[in-house]
Amino acid sequence: MAHDRWAQAAFKTRVDEVLHRVVAEEADRFAAIDASLGAVAEQLEASVAHGKRLRAAFCYWGWRSVGQPDSDALVRAAASMELVHAAAVVHDDLIDDSPLRHGRPTAHVALRRAVSGRPEVRGAPDAADAASAFGAARSLAMLVGDLLMSLAGQLFATCGLPSAYVARARPLWSVMARELIAGECLEILRTGTGPDTAAALKVVRYKTAKYTVEHPLLIGGALAGAGARLREGYSAYGLPLGEAFQLRDDLLGLFGDPEHTGKANADDVHGNRPTTLLAETWRLADEEARESLRALLGRADLDGEGLDAVRGTMRRLKAPDRVEEMIAARVEEALAALHELAVPKEAATALTALAHSASVRLS
């Protein structure tokens, strides 16, 4: 790829073209099985309609940093990282019962409307009908996520790179899946428990950091035949940067503009999730502030006034400033590790730009 083709927008376009084509073909095959599957097929396509494609970019530069040339087959392999992400998002939104993603209804919410339109539940549904539709929609969304993960593996396996290249990278998929699911499980198990910064950072590392930056880099590197020293450098760069990415998400979740984030910004407070922002707030709080937080966190009926009270407590304790410091320290650590890597100048420039994209953003 000539240097002027590595504008992030241009790369995103290449990845989007792969994703939209592959998922549209799968959605058509899926819907052809039975006409009633159309709404589910639509959610497959909706799952890849948006995204920054950072995971694909890290996979791409994991390959290029070894000295390998640009390759359309590699772009296909990199695009599979975005299908892993799409699957994780559908499952995560389902677990968290999040209503919005990219400003649109999440899969289980959109499918609830489709299920409610079935002939047997049309009209004025009673409570049992509504509960049935709710459960059916959640089940369908779970299966959309499962199908996306299956499709990710299929795209990777058939990307067009030599089979020996794919074989040496394939074992990393098991590690990526194990650690991603472990992180999600840790978040579920720690939700509603006493806030703890170390525990929250462990959730960050396994639920997001590894599959967002480290694993895509390592997979791209494995495809290219990266040596042990380069692989170690990828982790030294990728782990702190991935953590910075999620810490930024924590801040955007409560203090971001929903017009930019496309998400409901009360989700973490409603769910009393084990975020680092909440853990740092708790650590810095005195007993009076903690008593106030206990009355607000985890309330599904929390209104705007209550949410503002949580934000006000956080600001007074300077918890967002503390998280900003954690982000800055991790980005600095990542860039220091990148500086030590013997990679082509073009790769170093791109990975530096990606570090900025991952950690300084509005959505």
* Domain range annotation of the chain: 3-359
Q: Where are the alpha helices (DSSP H) in the chain?
A: 8-31, 38-46, 54-64, 72-96, 107-116, 127-157, 163-169, 171-190, 197-204, 215-224, 228-255, 258-261, 267-271, 276-284, 287-296, 304-317, 319-339, 345-359
Residues in the chain, how many? Answer: 363
Residue 229 has pLDDT above 90, yes or no: yes
Which pLDDT score is estimated for 5?
Answer: 43
Alpha carbon distance 336, 274 (integer Å): 29
Alpha carbon distance 163, 128 (integer Å): 52
Average pLDDT for the chain: 91
Tokens linked to 72: 């359309």
- Vertex 165, ends 168 and 11: CA angle to 5°? 115
Residue 279 has pLDDT above 70, yes or no: yes
Task: Tell me the three state secondary structure of residue 101.
Answer: strand
The predicted model scores a pTM of 0.92
Residue 301 has pLDDT above 90, yes or no: no
Alpha carbon distance 274, 270 (integer Å): 12
Which pLDDT score is estimated for 264?
Answer: 62
CATH topology of domain 3-359: Farnesyl Diphosphate Synthase (1.10.600)
CB 178 within 8 A of CB 84: no
- pLDDT tier at 4, thresholds 50, 70, 90: very low
- pLDDT tier at 3, thresholds 50, 70, 90: very low
